[in-house]
Structure 1
Amino acid sequence: MKENEEKAEGTTRRDFVKTGAVAAAAFSIVPRFVLGKGYRAPSDTLYIASVGVNGKGESDLREFVKSGKAKPQFLCDVDQVKAAGTYKQYPDAKRYVDYREMLDKESKNFDAVHCATPDHMHAVVATAAMSMKKHIYVQKPMAHDVYEARMMSSMADKYKIVSQMGNQGSSSDGVRLMQEWYDAGLIGDIKEVYCWTNRPIWPQGNGMKWPTESREVRDTLNWDLWQGTAKARPYPIGRDQGGIDVLPFSWRGWWDYGTGVLGDMGAHILHAPMKVLGLKYVTSVQSSVGGGGSLDVGPSSNYTVMSFPKSDKTKGPVKVHWMDGGILPPRPEELEPEENWAGIGDGGMLFVGTKGKMTAGCYAEAPRLLGEGLMDKAAKIKPKYDRVKGSTGGHYAQWVEACLAGYGNAKTSSPMSEAGLLTEAMLMCNLAIRGVSVQQGRRYPARFVNLEWDAANLKVTNVDEVNQFVKRTYRDGYSLSGI
């Protein structure tokens, strides 16, 4: 690695090797010529500190390791039972419960941070890592609130580190094919895009409330640290006792911790429309909901429409329709009568153009053009955009390779500069959804209203009540870093 590239990184690899010599008992970092042929030198390995290592965190780590160039060096989780499987896979990794302690004590001993916590902790973990000039991989959505997304969007470039959001479909060949088809003018001008998902698949809506009864927290779970930035609540009785389950997955529907269906699937399905059409900040958003949403929990279904201004790649404004909970757009007339067009993965997308239509499943899988002769024309178009090795599955190795190459020397598919725009659009939908939620028997005035968004000032201009959701107040002990 060149000297100027090493200086561009926070902790240089030269410094890292020196640190490793001091901490030899923990790391066994030795030059390649000592180890012999076939061994990888430390400078060719990305040492990762991971926050949230069960569930998606475990599968992320497995994919990083598959690259052959990454090593989980530190593992942090608040739930020792759920994390046990990951600990077993990486027995040499040092373990922590509080990410703040890990980052403070071990900052000189790793290159990058991977964050796969619940949504409400993404921003505080990721900004802490970036402000220390550590490369960052943060699961989708990269933030819980619009304010967080905006603050994070420029931080990777500010601190000159490599970033990637965990929406692996952004690395798919399907996105690049659709870009090429659209750029070639095969479907003409686009004014409407429809996106949908089959989720939620966790309890959400239908009058759910936090139980008034609590239960004792097991010794292997630090409930206080799990709640993190959110307000403190008693550990609830479980569903088997007439209460609720929050862990390990059902937190998604609770606004304090999750971002609902948009946060779970929006990054996978909305990425392609925003990328293909070059969309940036929404100008307005309107939502209608079903199934008992409230200020505490999301609804069981919703239909939200985002309005985007003309971009460099469109001829005019674009409306993007989001549907979940079983809602689907009208069936395209170009399809065969019984063709299952909406059943690819967990959702899909439909671009409606003046010359034809374009559709794909979740992660932009199986893209195709609807219209006579369009697929024949598409076959003659030469590739224009570079493919990611491994397509969707290569998303993880792409980040590892980019981190090793150093800031500015390689691209990632979902850097924070792009992921921030996508995340903000998703979270703007949540503003509208929460704005039509029931509170003490009345409805917010956002119902039947198009929320007008002043992107420059991070403010809804016509319904002030929803601005309380643009930026949260964290509990003591938590804050954004380096913004």
Structure 2
Amino acid sequence: MNLNRRNALFASGAAASLSMIPGRVLGANEKVDVAWIGVGGRGPRIISNFERSGILNVVALCDVHVDNKNMQAMKAKYPNAKVYQDWRKLFDEMSNQFDAVINLTPDHQHFPISMVSMAHGKPVYTEKPLARTFQEIDLLMAAEKKYGVPTQMGNQGHSGDNYFQFKAWKEAGIIKDVTHVDAYMNKWRRWHPWGDLQAYPTGAKKPAGLDWDIWLGVTPTPNVYDPKFHPGNWRGWYQYGTGCFGDWGAHILDTIHRFLELGMPEKISATKWVQPNDLIFPLATTINFAFPARGDMPAMDIDWYDGQENLPPIPKEFAGRELKKDKPGKFIYSKDYVFQGDSHGSTLQILPYEKYRELLKAGNVPKNFGKNSDHYTNFLLACKGEEETRSPFSVSGPLSQVLVLGCLAQRLGGELHFDRETRRITNNKLADSLLKDEVRKGWEQYYKL
């Protein structure tokens, strides 16, 4: 299919017919043929995680920078895999030659690649957060429902021990009546290294083999290459990324959001706002999310802390221990207990530890969560019809929307009121308009379900 025909296909809505193309029926001992999009950054590490499943077969490798060292290493490792620079051409030429898609691109590219994958009837694993805007996540959830393929967001802790522990402890009545959460990430990362910026960079000589037009994707500005954007530095820019909160909130708040059935907040407030900027995320923020009562669960709120020196309060039950700045985590406050946990799949402890030990000794705490597939194997087994994914877009989408609402508060400051029924911000026209974003000319077709 040539590029003009593809654009016409999506623009006309005819892409819906692609979902009717049946996928290959995989036998019990067959591997899942995967097209891997986004190799240059964490590609080798994540590929090795998928390889542990024993059922991964990489048939295509795609990256906008074909000369980067990770792409070269993966080409050597998978000499039979076809190599692409433009993911659109990959779908044009070999969509009938792979079973699933792994999407490890920057945040601003998650949306179009995931939409096209589902429209072609392909299960898709997309890194967190699911997308960069509220509207994009709405469309991804609608596409998942329409096309009916397995999906998974890459918050890998959602298949770890914390997932099974949180579920079991809530069902056992140990986690109940939660009223407040303090979540934090205070480790230095490359989200805020550029100082008080007044304008976008004016550009620099791009590395050989990098197609910057494809990297830009759906985003209209800025349109010049600069090392302050790529590689890796894109996360700190509103135009391309979701900052510290979008990156780590998915690893720290996922089980809280899911099993406490939080949905959307009613109010999001920037209670601390250090070095705000029109282009990049602030140096440090504290963001409060207010959630209403849900069924028999009380109203609760979450305070998010980021920035190296912006630490959460320490509960007295923490027994005077010092909070390590390089270790993200959370404190969960309920009527009966205070829980402490780190990120990803790390399990919770009840504070103080003596109380936890007493409960364990009495046998009142479920602690055997069985043998379960990890996040990567879970996705591949879902492609084979043997499991259901644990972080499908229907689950990870609302979590990601909470993250992007927090990013809006970090960007604009003040207080945002969110109507959970109309799904609009009611007190700030600019914030409401930013629930979706301008789309670069020539890429509009991906926003038509």
The reply to whether TM is greater than 0.5 is: yes
> Is 1:421 aligned to 2:410, yes or no?
no
Distance between the aligned counterparts of 1:112 and 1:482, measured in 2?
22
In structure 2, the residue matched to 1:114 is 102
Q: Which amino acid aligns with 1:118?
A: P
In structure 2, the residue matched to 1:306 is 289
Residue 378 (structure 1) shift: 4.3
Distance between the aligned counterparts of 2:149 and 2:264, measured in 1?
24
Distance between the aligned counterparts of 1:214 and 1:167, measured in 2?
33
Q: Which amino acid aligns with 1:207?
A: D
Q: Which amino acid aligns with 1:361?
A: D
- CA RMSD, 1 decimal: 2.6
Matched position secondary structure for 1:418: helix
Residue 384 (structure 1) shift: 9.3
Q: Which moved more, 1:372-381 or 1:219-228?
A: 372-381
In structure 2, the residue matched to 1:370 is 351
Q: Note closer, same or farther for the CA distance 1:130–1:318 as it changes in structure 2 (3 Å cut).
A: same
> Is 1:324 aligned to 2:310, yes or no?
no
Query: Larger Cα Rg: Structure 1 or Structure 2?
Result: 1
The answer to whether the Cα contact below 8 Å between 1:349 and 1:361 also exists between their aligned partners in 2 is yes
Distance between the aligned counterparts of 2:389 and 2:75, measured in 1?
28
Q: Which amino acid aligns with 1:360?
A: G
Q: Which moved more, 1:295-304 or 1:149-158?
A: 149-158
Q: Which amino acid aligns with 1:81?
A: D
Q: Which moved more, 1:117-126 or 1:193-202?
A: 193-202
In structure 2, the residue matched to 1:56 is 42
In structure 1, the residue matched to 2:261 is 278
**Residue among 217, 224, 228 paired with 1:228:** 217
In structure 1, the residue matched to 2:439 is 474
Runs of 5+ consecutive residues of structure 1 not aligned to the other structure: 1-7, 17-40, 239-244, 437-446
Distance between the aligned counterparts of 2:62 and 2:28, measured in 1?
22
Distance between the aligned counterparts of 1:176 and 1:308, measured in 2?
24
The answer to whether the Cα contact below 8 Å between 1:302 and 1:433 also exists between their aligned partners in 2 is yes
Q: Note closer, same or farther for the CA distance 1:97–1:237 as it changes in structure 2 (3 Å cut).
A: closer
Q: Note closer, same or farther for the CA distance 1:309–1:193 as it changes in structure 2 (3 Å cut).
A: same
Distance between the aligned counterparts of 1:115 and 1:12, measured in 2?
19
Q: Note closer, same or farther for the CA distance 1:162–1:215 as it changes in structure 2 (3 Å cut).
A: same
1:219-275 CA-to-partner distances (Å, cap 9, x unmatched) read: 31111111111124354565xxxxxx3221111001111111111111001102112
Distance between the aligned counterparts of 1:210 and 1:462, measured in 2?
28
In structure 2, the residue matched to 1:13 is 24
The answer to whether the Cα contact below 8 Å between 1:197 and 1:265 also exists between their aligned partners in 2 is yes
In structure 1, the residue matched to 2:242 is 259
**Residue among 150, 163, 166 paired with 2:154:** 166
In structure 1, the residue matched to 2:167 is 179
The answer to whether the Cα contact below 8 Å between 1:287 and 1:432 also exists between their aligned partners in 2 is yes
Could you state the TM-score of these two structures normalised by the residue count of structure 2?
0.87
The answer to whether the Cα contact below 8 Å between 2:139 and 2:447 also exists between their aligned partners in 1 is no
Matched position secondary structure for 1:294: coil
In structure 1, the residue matched to 2:120 is 132
Q: Note closer, same or farther for the CA distance 1:148–1:456 as it changes in structure 2 (3 Å cut).
A: farther
In structure 2, the residue matched to 1:36 is none
The answer to whether the Cα contact below 8 Å between 1:173 and 1:388 also exists between their aligned partners in 2 is no
Distance between the aligned counterparts of 2:299 and 2:412, measured in 1?
24
Residue 282 (structure 1) shift: 1.5
Could you state the TM-score of these two structures normalised by the residue count of structure 1?
0.82
Residue 88 (structure 1) shift: 2.1
The answer to whether the Cα contact below 8 Å between 2:266 and 2:418 also exists between their aligned partners in 1 is yes
Q: Note closer, same or farther for the CA distance 1:389–1:49 as it changes in structure 2 (3 Å cut).
A: same
